[in-house]
Amino acid sequence: MCTRAEGLCPEWANEQRMNVLFAPLRDKELNPESWNSKVRFWINLTEKWSRANSSPLLDIGLLKKEFARNGKTPHCLSEVLVEGVKSGLLSTPENHLQALKTRNQTWGSWVLGLGTSAVKAVGTKVLGSSLNTVIVPSVVEQLKTEILVKLAECDRFIPSHRSSFITEAQLRTHLETVITQESSRDFILQVLLEERKISKLNLDKLTVYKLAVADEPVDVDEVDKGLLHLKINLDHLSNEIPNLETKIAAEEASVRSSLKSGARTKAKVCLKRKKRLDAKLEQLHSQQLNLEHIYEELLTAETNKKIMIAYNSGLAAMKSMVDVSLLDEAESTISDLAELLDINSQIGDTLVMNEPDLDDLERELEELGRDVVDNPSFDKDKETRKEEIDKIGENDFDSVLQNLEKLEFDLDPVIGRKKAERFEQAL
C-alpha cells in the first residue's frame, strides 16, 4: 500500500504554508533563506516518501502525482531534483552505477573511463534542468542491506558447498517482498551486481546467482561452474527417472490387459517398448551413479582443502610460538624450580618445633591398657571409691585427703620421658 505525502508531512494541512511551497522558485539572490528552506523541504519529503514506499528510483512524473494537493502540483520539483543531485542527497541512476563500477575497477580501467566520466559530468551541468529520474542513495543502501539479509537466509542450490548459490526465482521472490516497484527492483539488482555482492551465471537454461561471503567481492571460478553443471544434470536425472519408471509401469499394464483380451500382437509390441524403456532406465541409473560419485568427490575435495588450510594455519602459528631454545629454557626452569622447592621444604622443617615421639606415646598407651585389663579388682576398687566419694560431705576435707593418698597412679609426665632418659644416659 502506497504511503501518501500528507501522512509524511505535518505541514500538509497548512493552506498558507503549502501555497508558498507549491509556488515556483524565485531568484536565490532575492531571499536565500527562503529559497534554501523550500528546496530542503521538498528534498526531505522526497526522501521520506522514497523510504516509506521502498521506492528508491523516482521520476518527475511520479513525484508530481504523489505530491499533488487539491488538484495542484509543485511547480519547483525539477529545480529541486537538480539541487538535490548537486548536494549529493539525490543522484542519477547512471552516476550511481558508474560510481560503483569505478570503485571496483582497476587503475588502468579507471584512467580509460576518466574521459567518459568527464563528458557525463559536463552534460549533467549543461542539461541539469532537464533531469527527470533520480534515486535516493540512502534508501538504496537500506534496501540493499535488507535484501542481502533475506538472501542469506534462503535455501541454497548446493547446500554443502562453501559458496552460496540461489536460483533466479528465489532472488525475484525476495525482491518482490521488499520492493513493490518493478523499476526499483531492477535497479537494486543492478546495484548488487555492480558492487559484486552477487554474480549471475546462465547455465543450461537456468539462471543462478552466487552470493558474496563475509563482505568479500564475489568471484566465480571453474570449480563453481563444474559443480553447478553437475547439480543441474543430477536434478534433471532425478526428474527424468521417475517419469521413465511411470512409462514402464504403464507399458507393463498394457501388456497384461492385451493378453487378457487376446491381443497378443499388441501385447508383443508393448513388451518390446517396455524392454527398450528398461534399457534406457538402466542407462540413466548408471549415469546418475557416475555423476553422483564425481559430485561427491568434488565436495570432498573442497572439504579437504579447508582442512589443509586449517592445518597450515595451525602449523604456522606453532612455528611462530615454539622454538628449539625453549626446550633448554624449560629444562633450566624446571631444575631451578625443583631446587627452590627443596630449599623451601628444608626451611619449613627447621621452623617446626620438636613434637613428642608418637611411637613412644602409642607404646605407653598399650601398656596402660594391658594393666587395666589384667587387674580384675580395678572395677571393684573404682566402685568402692565412687561410693566413698559420694559419702563425703562438704566439710570432710581430712577424709578426702586420706582417700586421695590411697590412689596409686603415676602422675609423672609421659611426653618427653624417653628423651629425658636418653639425656640422663648420655650424661
CATH number of the domain that residue 198 is part of: 1.10.10
pLDDT at 226: 84
For the chain, what percentages of helix, strand and coil (3-state, to nearest 5) are there?
Answer: 70, 5, 20
Task: Confirm whether 336 is domain-assigned.
Answer: no
Please check whether residues 202 and 236 belong to one and the same domain. Answer: no
Residue 246 Cα distances to 183, 252, 268, 376, angstroms: 44, 10, 19, 109
CB 230 within 8 A of CB 295: yes
CB 151 within 8 A of CB 171: yes
Task: Confirm whether 84 is domain-assigned.
Answer: yes
Task: Confirm whether 363 is domain-assigned.
Answer: yes
Burial level of 100, CB count in 10 A (0-12/13-18/19+)? middle
Task: Confirm whether 392 is domain-assigned.
Answer: yes
Residues whose CB is less than 8 angstroms from the CB of residue 244 and which lie 6 or more positions away in sequence, other chains included? 277, 280, 281, 284
pLDDT at 302: 66
- Show which of 160, 189, 220 is a domain's final residue: 220
Q: What CATH number does residue 282 fall under? A: 1.10.287
pLDDT (tens digit per residue) in 342-378: 888 888 777 765 555 566 667 777 777 666 555 555 5
pLDDT (tens digit per residue) in 284-321: 999 999 988 888 887 777 667 777 777 778 777 777 77
CB 21 within 8 A of CB 42: yes
pLDDT at 132: 85
Which has the minimum average pLDDT: 4-13, 61-70, 116-125, 128-137? 116-125
pLDDT at 184: 93
pLDDT at 116: 43
What integer is the mean pLDDT of 253-277?
90
Please check whether residues 259 and 204 belong to one and the same domain. Answer: no
CB 267 within 8 A of CB 224: no
Please check whether residues 35 and 69 belong to one and the same domain. Answer: yes
Task: Confirm whether 150 is domain-assigned.
Answer: yes
Which has the minimum average pLDDT: 146-150, 220-224, 241-245, 278-282? 220-224
Q: What is the torsional sign of CA 267, 269, 273, 276?
A: positive
- Show which of 164, 187, 220 is a domain's final residue: 220
* Residue 134, strand partner residues: 58
* pLDDT surpasses 60 at 36: yes
- Show which of 220, 237, 258 is a domain's final residue: 220
Q: Which domain holds residue 247?
A: 223-319
Please check whether residues 162 and 207 belong to one and the same domain. Answer: yes
Q: Which residue has the higher pLDDT, 322 or 340?
A: 340
What integer is the mean pLDDT of 172-186?
92
To 10 degrees, the CA torsion angle through 85, 89, 94, 96? 140
CB 75 within 8 A of CB 24: yes
Please check whether residues 215 and 247 belong to one and the same domain. Answer: no
The helix-helix angle for 222-261 and 264-321 (nearest 10°) equals 160
Task: Confirm whether 117 is domain-assigned.
Answer: no
Task: Confirm whether 415 is domain-assigned.
Answer: yes
CB 72 within 8 A of CB 24: no
Task: Confirm whether 407 is domain-assigned.
Answer: yes
Domain count, the chain: 4
